[in-house]
Chains A and B, each alone.
Chain A
Amino acid sequence: MTEEKSLVRALKSDTEKEVAFRILVSKYKERLYWQIRKIVFDHDDSDDVLQNTFIKVFRNINSFKEDSKLYTWMYRIATNEAITFINKKAKMAKITIEDVKNRAIDNLESDVYFEGDAIQIQLQRAIASLPQRQQLIFSMKYFEEHTFEELSKILDTSVGGLKSSYHIAVKKVTAYVKANEMSFNNK
């Protein structure tokens, strides 16, 4: 904790800000990137959102109240930025958020930065068919293996609520993948 406190102190100081920020970026870039990518799918879009996230963190560091962990705060910003990005895309194209995601998944097959099989695409479609909140909970728990306690802080939801949501999400996702099993020959 002391390491974090001194990093935050450095980030808030005028003299050490830049150096501290470089450390911050180095430490969290990958975790935040993958958090964003799961929501946004496309690498270039994820890159944009990630950079915006760090810029926002940099500009607002002085208003970070230190009542949560630094990475919890940053994760929240990253998640919100990613969701805002998707919402904006939907609004501009005048389609639903689900359509935006489905189109992005359609593009995965030809995406140079996707090396998954048909089953991975099915899994993404299954996740995209969940309610927005459940998508987040499932992705974060399943792929990134956050504990429910960590998720509870990031998403500002009770642990019990998260466990239920995750349980329902697993059921739905598995059912979806199984129902569409005929469309891939991965096994």
Chain B
Amino acid sequence: MEDKKYKSGFKVPENYFDSFEKRIFDTIESETLPKETGFKVPDGYFENLEDTILQKLTATDKPRKVIPLNSRKTWIYLTAIAACLAVIISMLIRDESIVKQLDLIKTATIENYIDEGYLDLESYEVLALLDDEDLTSINFESDIFSEESLENYLLENSIEETLLIE
């Protein structure tokens, strides 16, 4: 490299020759490998993506305009009160059939609430209005899927799957 024959004023990048073999090798070796991954996307996927994402952003940024706040709050309190009453009464009344009826009423109220589409709350928002005592004795049949309960559900399920595989 110090040969005077090549002192023509030309220069090479640093480490050019040192890394040359590596680079040539990499190119030749990798020619035996396919260049495409083989992955593809559904038709129209990229075209629709912008709208999908923008929708999600504006949905999380702005408050939901679905229902006037007032009637939502009323429903929250109604459900909470119904649940509380049901629990309290069921504790006072030992008669099984009455307790069962009240359970049904309580469940029906909640089911209506959900069916009417009012329940776009996290379950903890509803639960926050109840006392600890009520919480332990309440047995909701129709769960409201908060992120937390979904995660737990998945965790439980995954464990079962692993057991099956093993």
A residues engaging B (CB < 8 A)?
A: 18, 21-22, 25-26, 29-30, 33-34, 37-38, 41, 43, 47, 50-51, 54-55, 58, 92-95, 108, 113-117, 119-121, 123-124, 142-143, 163, 166-167, 170-171, 173-174, 177-178
Contacts and interface: CB of A to CB of B under 8 A. Distances in A.
Nearest to A113: B40
B interface SS class: helix
A93 B162 contact: yes
For the side of the interface on B, what is the size category? 20 to 34
Contacts of A115: 38, 40
Of A22, A34, A170, the most chain B CB neighbours within 10 A belong to: A170
A95 B33 contact: no
Interface string B109-146: 00000000000000000000000000000000000000
B92 to A, nearest CB: 44
Interface in B41-64: 41-42, 45-46, 49-50, 52-54, 56-58, 60
Interface of B: 19, 22, 25-26, 29-30, 32-42, 45-46, 49-50, 52-54, 56-58, 60, 154-155, 158-159, 161-162
Interface residues of A, dominant DSSP: helix
B159 A94 contact: yes
B134 to A, nearest CB: 32
Contact of B161 (A26, A50, A93, A177): A93
A170 B57 contact: no
A116 B39 contact: yes
A120 B37 contact: yes
B32 A174 contact: yes
Contacts of A178: 32
B158 A25 contact: no
A121 B33 CA distance: 11
Given A37-B39, A143-B37, A170-B26, A94 B162 contact: yes
Contacts of A37: 37, 39
B53 A166 contact: no
Contacts of A34: 39
Contacts of B37: 37-38, 116, 120, 123-124, 143
